[in-house]
Amino acid sequence: MQQDRANDDDVTDARRSGVRKTVLVLVVFVVAVFAWTIFGRLIR
Amino acid sequence: MTATTADHHDDHHPTGIKRWLFSTNHKDIGTLYLWFSFVMFIVGGLMALVIRSELFMPGLQVVDPHFFNQMTTVHALVMLFGAAMPVFVGLANWQLPLMIGAPDMALPRLNNWSFWLLPPAATLLLISLFMPGGAPAAGWTIYPPLSVQGGMGVDFGILALHMMGISSIMGSINIIATVMNMRAPGMTLLKMPMFVWTWLITGFLLVTAIPVLAGAITMLLTDRHFGTHFFDPAGGGDPVMFQHIFWFFGHPEVYILILPAFGVVSQIIPTFARKPLFGYTSMVFATATIAFLSYIVWAHHMFTVGMPLTGELYFMYATMLIAIPTGVKIFNWVATMWRGSMTYETPMLYAIGMVFLFTIGGFSGLMLAVVPADFQYHDTYFVVAHFHYVIFGGTILGALGAVYFWLPKWTGHMYNETLGKWHFWLTVIGMNLTFFPQHFLGLAGMPRRIPDYALQFTEFNMMSTVGAFLLGFSQILFLTNVLRTIKGGEKASDRVWEGSEGLEWTLPSPPPYHTFVTPPQVK
Ligand code: HEM
Ligand SMILES: [Cu+2]
């Protein structure tokens, strides 16, 4: 969509790679916390 | 690639329903969040009025006790996950890009998804009221074994919570990514406005706390349907473990609710005191300290569960530590007002009211933190009074103040000041009439979450119910004022307030659809 592109291109390349790294770290973290909450109980 | 598409920055965008369904614009999504949370505020408010109607007199008169339990449970879930959290995500959407000089949020499409998960989630939660067995009724804390025994409504509640949790996680990832990567050149971390700081820290609280809730309710679901016994002693499980996991999420959650409101107040008070915020750096560190401490105090919610004495003492002292950074913040707000040229427009009234009423809730929190005292107060109306002072007096007053503060910027019109002041005073009087007597009820031993009570509690309950109706109906003034401001009214200037400072006030009121396409330079 045109609108998406406009928004997307506001993010310069440097910002875009920064955003990617931030998101990657956070997603891994969220999944790890969720998994530990459950599997931490299973291995008790 | 960037060069060829750079000239698409015009104000063309879909109109009608498509503008909202497919929106990737932070301002439109902010508006959606704000309206959604207002609707949930009304829905949750109506449930509160059902509760207060039943409690107007001793005996059972208005609703059936099981329905009463559904009301206390769903009221809390709707207010927390439907109103109090989304309203600040809405404010973040509107304001963060404007305050840090970014063109939009870092992840505009994720932003759309975060919002659009909420209406289906709310629907799932609310339709459970009409199912066999009704909605979840074990309290918003969904402790097993009660929540394991509940009907199908509990499953709908769990699914709804999962969806709202995913929405919050995506929203907070977006906020963190935006604040970390999208700031205008020159906007160093320690130049960020306090609202941005408090949201950044809240974002970290969310990504840590919500997955824990998700884990807890997933285990609840597998205990209910898939033969696990995480919380069932008959199979080697432990219901108290649920409480530990729940409150490991639950206590940070209450700071998720209050920190962005702290941020709002830190924007409003300097504006109307016409002085820079006192102790900016200490504000940032106090906020971070509160966030850290919020992870190591969870068991103050379960003092009566039978912990070892050392555990009780540890959680008691750790909880009391929170009073230190909280005190720093309150001191700084007061010091900002000290000898300022103060004026009392509606946002300032809300900010001062927030500081005052939140402090009352902070003090009752300290009382609850004292282990032997909590043995008496736990599960009484004293707890209900405590958390409504911090959540209504703190979070909701902060959100209302924020709307009055930024509405002229968003709409280009001034709201009606007289109506705003009426709304403030009626809300504050209604809130105190509703919740102050609940302190006395609690101290006298009236339990929470019970549809009937002993005769000696009647007078304070009647006062509370009258206050609740006053509080509820006063919100009509707010809706009227907002709608009238959107439709028209006196033109707002770009700066709006004489004392305003910050990037958002350099833009026209209302700001164009796309702003800061070229980042501003911050000195
Ligand atoms: C100023 C520091 C605070 C202290 C020392 C404190 C302490 C406590 C304690 C000890 C309890 C447990 C009472 C019991 O169940 O017996 C409690 C409950 C609660 N607090 Fe606070 N609190 C503080 C601030 C806040 C804030 C800022 C919020 C939210 C914005 C909040 C929201 C709640 C809620 C929702 C409950 C009740 C949870 C439930 O059982 O349903 N508190 N507080
Ligand atoms: Cu707590």
Residue B14 is assigned to a structural domain of this protein: no
Residue B159 is assigned to a structural domain of this protein: yes
Write down the pLDDT at residue B3. Answer: 38
B516: nearest CA partner in chain A: A10
Beta-carbon contacts of residue B97 (< 8 Å; ≥ 6 apart): B26, B103, B104, B105, B178, B182, B515, B516
Cis amide leading into B145 (omega within 30): yes
Distance CA B211, CA B205 (A): 11
Distance B301 CA to ligand 2 centre (A): 6
**Domain count of chain B?**
1
Write down the pLDDT at residue A5. Answer: 45
Q: Is B255 a catalytic residue?
A: yes
**pLDDT interval class at A6 (50, 70, 90):** very low
B101: nearest CA partner in chain A: A10
Q: Using CA positions, which residue lies closest to atom 7 of ligand 1?
A: B365
Cα B442 to chain center, whole Å? 24
- The answer to whether B1 contacts A7, with C-beta atoms less than 8 Å apart, is no
- Residues of chain B under the 50 pLDDT cut: 1-8
**Domain count of chain A?**
1
Write down the pLDDT at residue B14. Answer: 80
The verdict on pTM exceeding 0.90 is yes
Q: Is B168 a catalytic residue?
A: yes
Cα B45 to chain center, whole Å? 14
Q: Is B54 a catalytic residue?
A: no
**pLDDT interval class at A44 (50, 70, 90):** low
pLDDT (tens digit per residue) in B250-261: 999 999 999 999
**What Rg do the C-alpha atoms of chain A give, in angstroms?**
17
Residue B518 is assigned to a structural domain of this protein: no
- The answer to whether B180 contacts A29, with C-beta atoms less than 8 Å apart, is no
Residue B9 is assigned to a structural domain of this protein: no
Q: What is the CATH number of the domain that holds B122?
A: 1.20.210.10
Write down the pLDDT at residue B2. Answer: 39
| pLDDT for residue A2 is more than 70 | no
Asked if residues B269 and B336 have their Cβ atoms less than 8 Å apart, the reply is yes
Q: Is residue B251 in contact with ligand 1, taking CB distance under 6 Å? A: no
Write down the pLDDT at residue B410. Answer: 98
Both structure tokens of B472: 């509820």
B255: closest CA of chain A, how far (Å): 19
Candidate of B255, B301, B326, B392 to mutate for ligand 1, largest count of ligand atoms within 8 Å of Cβ = B301
Residue B304 is which amino acid? Answer: T
Q: Is B418 a catalytic residue?
A: no
Residue B202 is assigned to a structural domain of this protein: yes
Task: Identify residues of B whose CB sits under 8 angstroms from chain A CBs.
Answer: 1-2, 5-6, 8-9, 12-14, 22, 24-25, 102-104, 106-109, 169, 173, 176-177, 180-182, 207-208, 210-212, 214-216, 218-219, 230, 241, 245, 514, 517
Distance B464 CA to ligand 1 centre (A): 20
Q: Compare B413 and A9 and report the one with higher pLDDT.
A: B413
Domain that holds residue A31: 1-44
Give B59: exposed, middle or buried? Use CB within 10 Å, 0-12, 13-18, 19+. Answer: exposed
Q: Compare A43 and B372 and report the one with higher pLDDT.
A: B372
Write down the pLDDT at residue B1. Answer: 33
Residue B452 is assigned to a structural domain of this protein: yes
